[in-house]
A = this chain, B = another copy of it.
Amino acid sequence: MINVAIIGATGYAGAELARILMNHPEAEVVSYGSKSYEGQDFSSVYGNFRGMADVPCENPDLSVLSKKADVIFTATPQGYLAGCLTEDILKNCCVIDLSADYRLKDVDVYEQWYKLEHKSPKLISDAVYGLCELHRKETVGKRLVANPGCYTTCSILTAYPLVKAGYIENQSLIIDAKSGTSGAGRGAKTPNLFCEVNESMKAYGVASHRHTPEIEQELSQAAGEEILINFTPHLVPMHRGILVTEYADLKQVTYADGHMDYPNKEMIQKAYEDAYKDEYFIRLLPDGMPPETKWVEGSNFVDISYVVDQRTHRVIMMGALDNLVKGAAGQAVQNMNILFGLPENTGLQMVPLFP
């Protein structure tokens, strides 16, 4: 049995970790960490856990926890983990970080987008970027996992096969993303009130959202060249779910007979299948069927499809996932499974909840 501590258990992502781990056959939560709710029962903060987690939240101490837990999940504000993580702690236990502290390999990029000084930059190279479908091999044996952001996971996985295959003009990539409101967290802010969010929609963080450099880092690596993208997140009146709609110009390629042309439908389909046909959590949808967030809610699945526009020679790629599961807690557990040598989908085979 893997002993797990959650720091930041009373945020939405932390609570989702608790939900998933409750039914994980090989893991057990030994500490629900929360500074704000110290001493209060976890189930009094999240009533869904009544009868299942009637234990008090603890004020977390990373160092102490590292001695009693096999793995610590940190679902904490940016900068928290970077400010207290040490190599000694990593000797005691694994850390899977749901914040952005170790995601960006270039510390300057981190400091520029997050407006924060990074307190432990030398640990960055110890961390693996935990987008499992791309980096599972590097993850084996690691002690520190930088679990990707919600928008990031969806954005990268949707475009990755065509970037990798060289079928699109990389600099033309535009990502229009839409997210449910749980992504904004449980903080009491007027813009997140029911009456402000419901029956409305808006963009935010236009040309400045912090997930942008993560997406660029990973797609650049896949492309073998530096990619700059436009990424625009939107807030949608629903709880869970991220939908991305990505636009890219197709790039002419040399066919077997020597002529140049845009990649045809079969080639694009093959690129997706080559990348994902053995992936349990990625579901390539039938020809032209757009993904819907309702079909992934509560699960670790990512649904992906695409449409080729013959008029404009563009491809429209679409992906959907649950921001709290594959976009946060589910992927974190998937990383834990990799670290501890379990099948990746252990404890993650729940059917999406509908309606």
Contacts and interface: CB of A to CB of B under 8 A. Distances in A.
Interface of A: 12, 15, 18-19, 22-23, 46-52, 171, 174, 176, 178, 180-182, 186-190, 192-204, 206-207, 228-230, 232, 234, 236-241, 243, 245, 247, 280, 283, 285, 288, 290-299, 301, 303, 307-309, 311-312, 314, 316, 318, 320, 349-355
Contact of A311 (B194, B228, B238, B288): B228
Given A193-B194, A316-B207, A52 B201 contact: no
A48 B232 contact: no
A12 B190 CA distance: 12
Contact of A12 (B46, B197, B299, B355): B355
Given A48-B296, A292-B202, A195 B245 contact: no
A298 B239 contact: no
A196 B355 contact: yes
28 contacts: A47-B303, A47-B354, A48-B352, A51-B301, A176-B232, A178-B236, A180-B199, A186-B190, A186-B196, A188-B189, A194-B196, A198-B239, A198-B355, A199-B294, A201-B241, A202-B243, A202-B290, A203-B316, A206-B307, A206-B316, A207-B308, A207-B311, A228-B311, A228-B312, A230-B247, A232-B245, A232-B247, A234-B243
Given A298-B298, A351-B52, A188 B190 contact: yes
Nearest to A187: B190
Contact of A353 (B48, B201, B303, B312): B48
A206 B174 contact: no
A239 B239 CA distance: 12
A245 B194 contact: no
Given A48-B351, A199-B241, 9 more contacts: A49-B351, A50-B303, A178-B201, A181-B193, A186-B190, A187-B190, A192-B194, A207-B309, A230-B247
Contacts of A354: 15, 19, 46-48
A198 B311 CA distance: 33
A98 to B, nearest CB: 17
Contacts of A298: 298, 353
A196 B22 CA distance: 22
Contact of A182 (B195, B351, B352): B195
Contacts of A350: 23, 350
Given A206-B290, A234-B245, A245-B203, A195 B239 contact: yes
A243 to B, nearest CB: 5
B294 A51 contact: no
A232 B307 CA distance: 11
Given A15-B354, A48-B353, A230 B309 contact: yes
Contacts of A237: 194, 198, 236-238
A201 B48 contact: no
A229 B292 contact: no
Contacts of A312: 171, 207, 228-230
Nearest to A200: B294
Contacts of A352: 48
Contact of A293 (B201, B247, B318): B201
A102 to B, nearest CB: 24
A227 B75 CA distance: 47
A280 B51 CA distance: 8
A322 to B, nearest CB: 10
